[in-house]
A and B are shown apart, each in its own frame.
Chain A
Amino acid sequence: MAFDKNNILEEVTGKEYAFGFTTPIDTDKAPPGLNEDIIRLISAKKEEPAWLLEWRLEALRIWQNMQAPAWAHLQYREPDFQAISYYAAPKQKPALNSLDELDPELRRTMDKLGISLDEQKRLHGRAVDFVMDSVSVATSFKAKLAELGIIFCSMSEAIREHPALVRKYLGTVVPRTDNFYAALNSAVFTDGSFCYIPKGVKCPMELSTYFRINAGGTGQFERTLVVADEGSYVSYLEGCTAPQRDENQLHAAVVELVALDEAEIKYSTVQNWYPGDKDGKGGVFNFVTKRGLCAGYKSKISWTQVETGSAITWKYPSCILKGDYSTGEFYSVAVTNHMQQADTGTKMIHLGKHTTSTIISKGISSGRSQNSYRGLVQINRNAAHARNFSQCDSLLMTDRCGAHTFPYIEVKNTTSKVEHEATTSKIGEDQIFYCLQRGLDEEQAISLIVNGYAKEVLNKLPMEFAVEAQKLLAISLEGSVG
């Protein structure tokens, strides 16, 4: 009996990170360090036009004059930016005519991650762009999307094939001067996804990008740009994993969304970068700038995120509500366990009249982790009749973790209404007792309660993602019963 119990304990605590494997494929890697030569090398490797090289070099100059932000409620050693290799790509044939030509090792990786491209085609009907070490390696369903005029491809391809579109929107939502990590990304980004939905088109399937860091000693710097033209709709999914390594790998991505008149973009993320081991060794540093621009009348951008991974999360998906009657939404579940630290939230900048925004943030801290919500709601003078509702709840699972809330609310006119509320508590003993008495064990009871707590956000995720997210929540909190 006692023997069994030990086994279970070992199994539970032993289960840490399911995606920690590395793929033994050849990688083309630049020497570590960051300078003009590296940027020229990246640009040359990708056969980029001159304007983009100039754009990158300018970003590098801006970055060199910036300081890493220190205001977040995070403690970590700043990565050595000169020790990172800024270009790593799986070696493969330059162009793929069909998915069958894909490196078999790479295919196996995708199978392991549960994103088999063939299967995807048959079962889920969602188009996937797979980015490994910041280089897009495969995109599915391209032909079908092209029929509708939807462009969905890797960023490098977009730069080659649709330079006018890329040039028009790149850096308009997140300028190079925005912050330290955005400047860094602008200088060195290697790939990412690009998506353009033409006027009046409702994208018939979920578009999805899967990010994976594979090579060691590298960082991942991808750039995503989604443009929804007038009256269009798109739902976009993003997932990420990384191998288990002792070093802290850097991930500094930029995501820009542009929604024109009456367009709607729904952006969902399930972030599961390697969080480091129980003692806080290793793990991905996740410094991401995500921002959407509701540029036109009645445009809408909705961010949904489930954050379970990363040693450090520094991420504030934001909406600039410029168009009148535009809407911004932010739904987030952030789970931290062991030694993880998260400082995440959103910014809602109301510029247009009758703009509305909703923020629902659910933090769950366990182990010795620190979980902070940091958000800004800014109602500018001309944003008459703007409306915001924010709710940020925190759940504490152990007595050694921390949950914090830092909301900034700035109101500059008389017709707007802003409401914010937050609560912090732990799971009630009566709730657990009730579940136990109904025959569930403690682990199941907690999982049930946590899922109920996060339901408001999970409900916003597309079907398959919601299932994945629920499993992820259960795994992340395994063995955390205090």
Chain B
Amino acid sequence: METATTANTTSFLEALQDQPSALSAHHGQQVNDARSMSALLPFPTTKSEAWKYTRTGRISNQPWRVTPAPAPDESTENRLTGLETSGRIVFINGQLSSVQLSEEARACVRIETDGNLPVRLLPQLHGDTFNEIHTGWCTSVMQVHIAEGAHLHKPLQLVHVITGTQVLAQPLLVITAAKHSVSAFAETFITAGTQDHSFTHRRLWLDIAENAHVRFDKIQSESGENFLLNREQVSLKRDARFRINTLSLNGQWIRNELSISLEGENAEAGLYGLFLPAGQQTIDNHTRVDHKAPHCESRELYKGMLRDQSTGVFNGKVFVHPDAQKTNAYQSNANILLSDDAQMYTKPELEIYADDVKCSHGTTTGQLDEAAVFYLKSRGIGEENARRLLTNAFLSDVLKEVEADALRDFVLRNLSERGLLYNEYTAAE
């Protein structure tokens, strides 16, 4: 056991040994603990339930490096033109590169980058192998505080750019939304070119206080050999609202672990996701919603479309704790397989310990309706366009949840480039 463990993490850790962690010197103890733990803990294998369908071998056997961020240039430029933002924060190779805030945002947003975390958050630094490695070699720490009663309607844009090879990017984002505030975030993961090679593990801790509203749009579109792990821990207090759209458009290996905890009465969370793996890609979505307080509601909808030899994984869990009476929880996952070589693994779970609840989940895996294709053809629409049209309809349930036009446009353009859209959009270009 011991030898297997060491072999499993050695090549990963070898190249890292003396590299720094972005956590402040105050947390030296945590960093050291994490470094020694990561040498002992193995990487998860397909034998562990949470990683049953997603392999980590191609991450664990690489000598990743913390790479200094190059100066921003054209290749790392913003590709989300047209998006009206209240500020832009750019990470290059996991390191904070620039922070720009609009006049409006400067009045109500406070940003800290000193790597000093409040004591209450320290236990969260530890966990499995990935968390220990993250704490041991964290590449940047950014804390964003939204002031009480602030209204930030335009999203704060977070951009993660990868450029170079063997890049290890491990940013930590801590966001707190104070009482009665309204804020929005748009996060994108992109690569500078097509030859980049990286492992990104981005952690996000988001605390939403009483009656605060947060909207979060996440777009993942990396080309090249990139591995992307996103872990989000979100907690909602009384009357808080949270909406997240996870749009996984492109990426060799993507895993999203989203954990939402409803801790105060009448909190509401909406989780929407779209994943479109192609080629040899693997996209894995793990979600967990903990209903810890009564009268809360969660809605979840994930849609996947799989092509070529790609693999899709969906594992959603709704956990209703003993006192969370009057819970409403809905979970839905629909998938379309467009190739015989693609594989979809779905596992929607319910774990319920309260009786006065309404919980349901549903999942389907199938293809485009042939009768509908035939109908469109009989109306004079060619086979290919008929399929695209139906694809659009399938994807629109999630896309309509994206509020900012510029974001939706970015997604649609991406889909159109990959031949997934009805011509109309391509024509508009």
Are A424's CB and B352's CB within 8 A? yes
The count of chain B contact residues (Cβ–Cβ below 8 Å) is 35
Contact status B359-A423, CB under 8 Å: yes
Q: Across the two chains, which residue of chain A brings its CB closest to B367?
A: A414
B338 at the interface (CB under 8 A from A): yes
Number of interface residues of A (CB under 8 A): 36
> Are B344 and A424 closer than 8 Å at their CB atoms?
no
Check if B345 is an interface residue, CB within 8 A of chain A. yes
User: What chain B residues lie within 8 Å of A412 (beta carbons)?
Assistant: 340, 342-344
B56 close to chain A: CB less than 8 A:
no
**Is B33 part of the contact surface with A, judged by Cβ < 8 Å?**
no
Contact of B348 among A73, A402, A403, A407 (CB under 8 A): A407
Residues of A within 8 Å of B350, CB to CB, are 394, 403-405, 422, 424
State A85–B33 Cα separation when bound (angstroms).
Answer: 50
Within the complex, the shortest CB–CB distance from B66 to chain A, in Å, comes to 37
Quick one: CB contact mask for A359-403 with B, threshold 8 Å, 1 for yes?
Answer: 000000000000000000000010000000000001011111111
B354 within 8 A of A: yes
A432 to B: closest C-beta gap in Å: 13
Per a CB cutoff under 8 Å, which of A381, A400, A403 touches B340? A381
Which chain A positions have C-beta within 8 A of B360? 421-424
Q: Is there a chain A Cβ closer than 8 Å to B356's Cβ?
A: yes
Asked if A404 meets B352 with Cβ closer than 8 Å, knowing A409-B363, A411-B343, A414-B340, the reply is yes
Q: Which of B350, B358, B359 has the most CB of A within 10 A?
A: B350
B interface residues (Cβ-Cβ under 8 A, vs A): 49, 322, 325, 335, 337-367
CB < 8 Å neighbour of A413 from B340, B347, B353: B340
Name B347's contact: one of A404, A407, A425 (CB within 8 Å). Answer: A407
Instruction: Identify which of A402, A415, A419, A482 contacts B363 (C-beta below 8 A).
Output: A419
Interface residue A434 (Cβ < 8 Å from any Cβ of B): no
Q: Are B348 and A420 in contact (CB under 8 A)?
A: yes
Distance in angstroms between the alpha carbons of A411 and B367 in the assembled complex: 11
Q: Interface on chain A toward B: helix, strand, loop, or mixed SS? A: strand
State whether the Cβ of A71 lies closer than 8 Å to any Cβ in chain B. yes
Q: In whole angstroms, what is the CA distance A413 to B367 when docked? A: 9
* B365 with A418: CB separation less than 8 A: yes
Asked if A406 meets B347 with Cβ closer than 8 Å, knowing A420-B362, A421-B360, the reply is: yes
Complex interface: chain B residues within 8 A of A419 (CB): 362-364, 366
| Residues of chain B contacted by A415 (CB below 8 angstroms) | 340, 367
> Is the CB–CB distance between A410 and B355 below 8 Å?
no
Contact (Cβ within 8 A) A425 B340: no
Cβ of B355 and Cβ of A396 under 8 Å apart?
yes
Instruction: Answer yes or no: A134 CB below 8 A from chain B CBs.
Output: no
Taking CB atoms, residues of chain B closer than 8 Å to A396 are: 352, 354-355, 357
Beta-carbon nearest neighbor of A394 in chain B: B352
User: Which listed residue (B49, B325, B335, B338) contacts A411, Cβ 8 A?
Assistant: B335
Looking at the assembled complex, report how far the CB atom of A57 sits from the nearest CB atom of chain B, in whole angstroms.
29
Which of A381, A406, A414 has the most CB atoms of chain B within a 10 A radius of its CB?
A: A414
How far does the Cβ of B383 sit from chain A's closest Cβ, in whole Å? 15
Out of B345, B359, B362, name the residue touching A425 (CB < 8 Å).
B359
Bound form: Cα–Cα A251–B345 in Å: 33
Given contacts A414-B337, A414-B340, A424-B357, A399 and B365 within 8 Å (CB-CB): no
- Would you call B367 and A409 a contact (CB within 8 A)? no
Q: Which residue of B lies closest to A412 (CB)?
A: B343
B356 near A399 with CB under 8 A, answer yes
List 4 other contacts, CB 8 Å, given A399-B356, A408-B346.
Answer: A71-B49, A412-B342, A422-B350, A424-B352
- Give the shortest distance, in Å, between B330 (CB) and chain A (any CB): 10
Supposing A414-B367, A422-B362, A423-B359 touch, asked if A400 and B322 sit within 8 A by C-beta, the answer is yes
CB distance from A404 to the nearest CB of B (A): 5
Separation in Å of the A456 CB from the closest CB of chain B? Answer: 17
Q: Are B357 and A410 in contact (CB under 8 A)?
A: no
* A381 CA / B347 CA spacing, docked (Å): 19
The 6 closest A-B pairs by CB, nearest first: A396-B355, A417-B366, A421-B362, A405-B350, A411-B365, A424-B359
A420 to B17, CA, bound (A): 48
User: Nearest chain B CB to A253's CB is how many angstroms away?
Assistant: 26
A214 in the interface (beta carbon within 8 A): no
A398 to B325, CA, bound (A): 12
B337: contacting residue among A73, A407, A411, CB under 8 A: A411
